[in-house]
Amino acid sequence: MGLPVIGFDDELTEQVCSRAGCTLLAGWNVNWRNPRIHGVERVKIWLACDEHRDYLHDYLEARDFPVVVSPLSRPLDRLPGPLTAETRLP
């Protein structure tokens, strides 16, 4: 079961995968940023289920965005500069 979050109307909502059309509960944060417009302190987060974790990571990586996958309970507050082998957590 995903962690609850507060929605726009202050009601608790379940965290579901960000992949279009997916309704599965998320277990992963796909932390990313667009380096052309944001510095290392800006982190955007897509949520991912087990099935779409690699798809969402690879989609962003193909666009040369720094991206790090982390467990849902461990969002990141900054991302590395250049892409490295360490940008994907197991």
Model confidence pLDDT, tens digit, residues 8-35? 455 546 799 999 999 999 999 999 999 8
pLDDT score, position 78:
82
27 within 8 A of 2, measured Cβ to Cβ: yes
pTM of the model: 0.73
Residue 48 pLDDT exceeds 90 = yes
Q: Does residue 83 register a pLDDT over 70? A: no
Which residues touch 46 (CB under 8 Å, ≥6 apart)? Answer: 18, 29, 30, 32, 56
